[in-house]
Chains A and B, each alone.
Chain A
Amino acid sequence: MVGKEQEEMEKGYTVLTYAEYEEGLRNGRLLGLRCASCGGITCHPMPVCQWCGRRVLKRIELSGEGELTTFTVIRVPSEGFEEDAPYIPCLVKTKEGPCVVGRLDYNTENAMQELIGKQVKMKGSYTYEGDKYSGGAHTCPVFGVVE
């Protein structure tokens, strides 16, 4: 399949690719999709609405704001993350509805249970360059606590 055909095919099924989503993150933007059927927001991107499964989706930009649902401090990392440890993976319930997984930028020694429920905002992104098993680099959002 050559360039033009490939492009047409992707357009039909994939409204927002992972690559575009991650490029958005690197530019400080949290991109998602709005469903024409139920109005729900899908983020990270999927070919169908994460709420109702329908397929008429339009690109939107989320505010990057939300509430910290949970987190942990990783002390024993997996290979490739030795330099990062300790670090904080987190789940954030965005204002627009969907949850996203990311990193929390916070002092790991002060990261206590009381952080849960705090307002957070996307403040940047983290790119893991990948190892020989990851099919290239991937980027996730980085959140900061709104004081």
Chain B
Amino acid sequence: MRRIAIIGIGHTKFGRASKTSLELFSEAALEAIDDAGVELKDTEALFQGAALPGFEEGQVMPAVFSAAELNMCPIPATRYEGACASASIAIREAAMWVGSGEYDMVLAGGVEKASSMGTLFATRTFAMACHAPTEGPVGLTFPGVFAMAARRYSKNYDIPIDKLREKMAHVSVKNHKHGALNPLAQFYKKLGDLKVEDVINSRYVADPLTLLDCCPFSDGAAAVVLCAAEEAKKYTDDPVYILGTGQGSGGPLSKMEDLTKPVSRINSARMAFKHAGLSPSDIDVLELHDCFTIAELIALESMGFFGWGEAADATADGQTDLGGKIPVNMSGGLIGKGHPIGATGASQVYWLVKQMRGEAPKDNQINPVPEYGMTDTLGGDFGTLCHIIVGRTK
């Protein structure tokens, strides 16, 4: 396999959009193309993540119409769907195709327009990533799944639920602090000085998770231009390389051994580390899937950054913030930046590249710039997991 480089990145504002998904994706794609200093016609295929376009805008085959919108037809254009991990698996596939030598330059990314569905119907469609025959009739929701995981975390590690709620709240406080500094975030200039008590006293969505333990419904798009690593310096002085990727599949909740130790995530992260020849101690920054506060803790432990049951205290201690052991979600994460589900994985890659270029929002920038970064994206109730490790050197 050849090494792969990211030479261009694009990212729309996240939040509530009046534009269509086609327009949102086009804007992210054109920004990425301009950033790379290439032309649309230089790209040989389009890989697009999109989770629920059929329900949002009555659109299937969104990748094809995005290609058409950009006058890229007849090149191959494919939609990838792994619920909230859609863009990550699209980028992973794109990297595989470039790595194989089949293509030299491709466009990849993702888009979602979830906010137009409204909370009730959006909750319904997001729950479609649960196991329909058994979890469907139960009326399980995504906050519900992670609330169940939080109760299990409390039980496994003998942390009283009220104590755990305080520790989880630190995830929301930290990610909102970063999100409030990020001009492209849904909560830019909002909730930046959130307190632990605010999270705890917010209203319950699914006990023990409150509204401020949850990420919002969002619209937005993000895109990247990938090329073979050996060609990257032709286009940019500071390419970021994709060093390793991993992907894992889970299943119905009832078939999981332990909700706090998802095998799909453990295996996917290990695959990415092995592929990159790196370990957690090499990683300088993480963009991970904090769809809910508890989700950030479970992710940190499953990826090997903290021992089982240790991420809650570590987070409350500030070890996952700037200056800590491993800064996590300096972009604001899903909680502070917003979560247009099909775009999230591409947004995570975008913000790692920004960090590595030294272009993150001022107070979110890690100094010196990180050498290695890693994404973690989760779709469904641990159904699709994807990890991408990037670095400044090949």
Interface residues of A, Cβ cutoff 8 Å to B: 18, 22, 44, 50, 69-82, 84, 87, 89-91, 98-103, 111-113, 116-117, 126-128, 131, 133-135, 137-140
Q: Which B residues are CB-close (under 8 A) to A117?
A: 155
- Which of B138, B148, B149, B206 contacts A102 (CB under 8 A)? B138
- Count residues of B near A (Cβ-Cβ below 8 Å): 43
Q: Which B residues are CB-close (under 8 A) to A81?
A: 139
Query: Does B141 have its Cβ within 8 Å of any Cβ on chain A?
Result: yes
Q: Is the CB of A78 within 8 A of B132?
A: no
Say how far B57's CB is from chain A's closest CB, in angstroms. 16
- Which of B126, B136, B152, B205 contacts A69 (CB under 8 A)? B152
Query: Does B235 have its Cβ within 8 Å of any Cβ on chain A?
Result: no
Q: Is the CB of B132 within 8 A of A100?
A: no
Query: Known contacts A76-B206, A78-B120, A101-B253; is A139 also within 8 Å of B137 by CB?
Result: yes
Q: Which B residues are CB-close (under 8 A) to A102?
A: 138
Query: Known contacts A44-B133, A113-B161, A116-B155; is A101 also within 8 Å of B123 by CB?
Result: no
Q: Is the CB of B124 within 8 A of A80?
A: yes
Who on chain B is nearest to A135 by CB? Answer: B132
Say how far B350's CB is from chain A's closest CB, in angstroms. 30
Q: Is the CB of B139 within 8 A of A75?
A: no
Q: Is the CB of B141 within 8 A of A128?
A: no
- Which of B137, B148, B206, B256 contacts A127 (CB under 8 A)? B137
Q: Is the CB of A76 within 8 A of B205?
A: yes
Q: Is the CB of A140 within 8 A of B138?
A: yes
The majority secondary structure among interface residues of chain B is helix
Q: Is the CB of A44 within 8 A of B139?
A: no
Say how far A105's CB is from chain B's closest CB, in angstroms. 13
Query: Known contacts A89-B139, A99-B254, A117-B155; is A74 also within 8 Å of B134 by CB?
Result: no
Q: Is the CB of B255 within 8 A of A133?
A: no
The contact string, 1 if C-beta is below 8 Å from chain A, for chain B 114-157, is: 00000111011011100111111111110110011101101100
Say how far B216's CB is from chain A's closest CB, in angstroms. 13
Q: Is the CB of B206 within 8 A of A74?
A: yes
Say how far B146's CB is from chain A's closest CB, in angstroms. 9
Q: Which A residues are CB-close (under 8 A) to B119?
A: 76
Q: How far is the CA of A86 from the CA of B209 in the complex (A)?
A: 14
Q: Is the CB of A138 within 8 A of B132?
A: yes
Q: Which residues, 232 to 259 on B, are CB-close (under 8 Å) to A?
A: 252-256, 259
Q: Is the CB of A116 within 8 A of B133?
A: no
Say how far A102's CB is from chain B's closest CB, in angstroms. 6
Q: Is the CB of B148 within 8 A of A70?
A: yes
Q: Is the CB of A50 within 8 A of B255?
A: yes
Further 8 A-B residue pairs, CB within 8 A, beyond A72-B151, A101-B135, A116-B151? A72-B144, A73-B204, A74-B140, A77-B123, A80-B139, A81-B139, A135-B132, A139-B137
Q: Is the CB of B259 within 8 A of A70?
A: yes
